[in-house]
Amino acid sequence: MVKRFERSSAVKWVIAIWALLSATFAFAQYDDADLKAVYLYRFALLADWIATGESIAPVEYCVSESDSVGEHLKNIVARKPQLSRYYDLSNPVTPNTCHILYIPQAKKSQILLLRDQYPHSLLISNGEEFVKIGGMVAFVKVNNRIRPMVSRSHVAPTQIQLRAQLLSISLLVEDEVAP
């Protein structure tokens, strides 16, 4: 009876450890670039461009330069060509509109230029510093998880309305004055 109990207990422990390790490895297959690309794609569903007068069909996703996040986004957009378009702004083709504009290495002068060129775009990059220099949404890491950081005062001039679902998962930055 004791051996039977030990054997069944050992089997249960092996199954529990296997389940834990499989879950860990399943989550490990998605890196930060994958998660950021999915966020970028979903942001179009979590914002409203009606007040801007811009057509939202198809959704125009733009990147200022190619990086791993941009490549992942390009692959996501390629799976739904009837709903969205992808543009790399470092190439000669320039779209009239960019709904979602990802800037991997943002500088203040670049933010100002892109804001003028695409006044109804949601400008997104990485790190808290991006929001401080005039960016609208930044990817930040909190407790080892990627989360959006949103400056509503920087988004306001674009007339884009962010939905409650996006705001509820975001870190909100309250700025005194929009740049």
So what's the pLDDT on residue 94? 84
Q: Is residue 78 within 8 Å of residue 62, measured between CB atoms?
A: no
Between 12 and 66, residue with greater pLDDT: 66
So what's the pLDDT on residue 57? 87
Alpha helices in 44-88 (DSSP H): 68-78
Tell me the pLDDT tens digit for each residue of 40-98: 999 999 999 988 888 888 999 999 998 999 999 999 999 999 999 999 999 888 898 99
Per DSSP, 20 falls in state H
Write the CA distances from 170 to 142, 158, 173, integer angstroms.
11, 19, 9
Report, as an integer, the average pLDDT of 99-115: 94
83 closest CA partner among 42, 36, 39, 35? 42
Tell me the pLDDT tens digit for each residue of 160-179: 999 999 999 999 997 644 44
Report, as an integer, the average pLDDT of 128-134: 94
Write the CA distances from 136 to 6, 100, 149, integer angstroms.
58, 11, 8
